[in-house]
Amino acid sequence: MIRLHVTPDLAPNAAVAPTLDQSRYLTQVMRLKLGDALLVFNGRDGEWRCVIAEILKKGVILRVEDQVRPQAFGPDLDLIVAVVKKSRVETIVEKAAELGAKRVRLTVTQRTNVEHVRLDRLDAIAIEAAEQTGRLDVPTIDDPQRLATLLDDWDPARRLMFCDETGGAPVASAVTQPGPWAILIGPEGGFAPEERERLRGLPFTTAVSLGPRILRADTAAIAAMTLWQAAVGDWER
């Protein structure tokens, strides 16, 4: 069944207006008619069955019927990625949503040479991916922040899986502790020696290797999230 992410609160009999684009998708692309059912979620109230109650020029109105699943969240995993070129960042955001990351934090490192991102576009990609996967929340995407600032403000309860292209421990043996984690992926130019030194010296960091080949940032992000999920994530369920 069609799944849509909406922003309003969801409760029995609530009337919900999706965006104009979503309305067009429902009536023009999927050809839904009055009374047809779909699923909606907002990241707070679980998943609900809705029906199309009105079709207006300005969009459709949905009537919320009953809850299908209560709200649930995936594992507490942040993905921190250096800003790389647009198409790769877009892939990374989509795959982070599919692979169950809770938050994507963009970062600017010494060798990052792209600084501009369109957060609205990245949010839309995260929402579409979340709709498709069946997850009940949407990963948040943070504005780019300097790596040094991000590390200065680090919450030490969160462990950092630092993907170091110069080598590190295998993920399966180094990542065994449950709890909040973040994965860090560098830019195409890799990390500068001072950055690597600082990262390796932090008490919450575990430096890991993703094998003997150098991966592109998008591939590295996907591989790292996969290994993390298999080690301490929710793939056992």
> 10 vs 220, which CB is nearer to ligand SAH?
220
Least Å distance, CB 171 to ligand SAH, is 9
Q: Which of 43, 59, 190, 233 binds ligand SAH (CB under 6 A)?
A: 190
Residue 211 touching ligand SAH (CB under 6 A): yes
- In the chain the first and final C-alpha atoms are separated, in Å, by 23
Distance separating alpha carbons of residues 65 and 62, to the nearest angstrom: 9
Which tokens belong to 9? 């609160």
Neighbour-count burial for 200-227, b at 16+ CB within 10 Å, e otherwise:
eeeeebbbbebeeeebebbbbbbbbbbb
Give the interface segment with ligand SAH, choosing from 70-78, 95-103, 133-141, 159-167 (CB under 6 A).
Answer: 159-167
Q: Are 51 and 75 within 8 A, CB to CB?
A: no
Residue closest to ligand SAH when measured from CB atoms: 186
For residue 121, what are the contacts with CB-CB under 8 A and spacing of at least 6? 90
Least Å distance, CB 158 to ligand SAH, is 18
Site for ligand SAH in 163-182 (CB under 6 A): 163-165
Total number of residues binding ligand SAH (CB under 6 A)? 17
Q: What does the longest C-alpha to C-alpha distance in the chain come to?
A: 61
For residue 132, what are the contacts with CB-CB under 8 A and spacing of at least 6? 3, 98
Q: Which of 185, 225, 227, 232 binds ligand SAH (CB under 6 A)?
A: 185
> 26 vs 92, which CB is nearer to ligand SAH?
92
Binding track over 104-143 against ligand SAH, x by CB under 6 A: ----------------------------------------
> 130 vs 220, which CB is nearer to ligand SAH?
220
Residue 215 touching ligand SAH (CB under 6 A): yes
Which tokens belong to 84? 């790389």
- To the nearest 10 degrees (0 to 180), the angle between helices 217-232 and 86-98 is 10
Binding site for ligand SAH (CB under 6 A): 163-165, 185-186, 188-191, 209-211, 213-215, 217, 220
